[in-house]
Structure 1
Amino acid sequence: MKSKLFFIQLIVSVFCFVPLLLGTLLTIQLSTNPTNPFSNWQTTLFILVLYLILLVTLLLNFFLLRLVKTFPSKETFTKKSLKLSSKIRSCLLCITILAFGILPKFYQIADMSDSPGILLIAFVLLFIPFFIYILSSILIDLLKQAIYLKNDYDLTV
């Protein structure tokens, strides 16, 4: 069990470094670009949305790591884990709403290259966090029912 928990914590920690790496690469690209990357509002919005999604993702990873740390202390089915799960769901909703900011840039790219398939890629990128949000909502409802059943069982014993 300890090795499994260590592996899960390692994976979550690695997932924390991926957004940091992407944010660092984006910052380096923007600072070394010889042309003005903020030439139009679509690009400015796109870059702003990417940085905001980066911040929310780091917050989501923090809550996820705190949730994973509750596993060995037998606090999985408590209100604390439910509160952390709700915060994770809120972060996913925020990412989904922020992801709408990438659509104008993808539309501009699709218009310039005359390939409407690029918009399909944008919509896929938009709906991935939305589907994860729906899945997390279902899992939170299951967690609420499990906590209720656990409390009911504790009262009967």
Structure 2
Amino acid sequence: MTIQTKADGAGEEFLAFRLGREEYGIDILKVQEIRGYESVTQIANAPAYLKGVINLRGIIVPIIDLRIKFRQEKISYDQYTVVIIVDLNQRTTGIVVDGVSDVLTLSQSQIKPTPQLSGGMETDYIRGLGSVENRMLILADIEKLMGVEELAAIDAAARAA
């Protein structure tokens, strides 16, 4: 697996966020903005992780709760819950996370390959593991995280709204 880094060798920037007790990172270039969680318009017969849609300055944006997608227990919405607006395969999409911590620049030496896990766990969306001081981030490819069926559900929700 090859990690693309900037030509100047300065490293790659990731937005760090929390889901439960785990910390994840996504490519900062995919992030459009970070917003507080607000109520959504629900779409009938949508998958559970697709909370609904919001109108963001005239654009209908599907909102996906990654905590539900990752089957986390006890999901609650509080003042720290945020929506990260991302560009997902040229579609503006919001992802609900427990909180955003910071933007980190990781050098190639700080990014370790994804360990081989057995038991049929899906890990294709994991680009690697980022190591910064005493922190370990799961570096996610946000586009691979959403499979073809999920992208179709997102598109259908946006059209239905």
Query: Rg larger in 1 or in 2?
Result: 1
Q: Same fold (TM over 0.5)?
A: no
More strand by percentage: 2
- Higher normalized contact order (CA 8 Å, seq sep 6+, divided by chain length): 2
TM-score under structure 1 length normalisation? 0.29
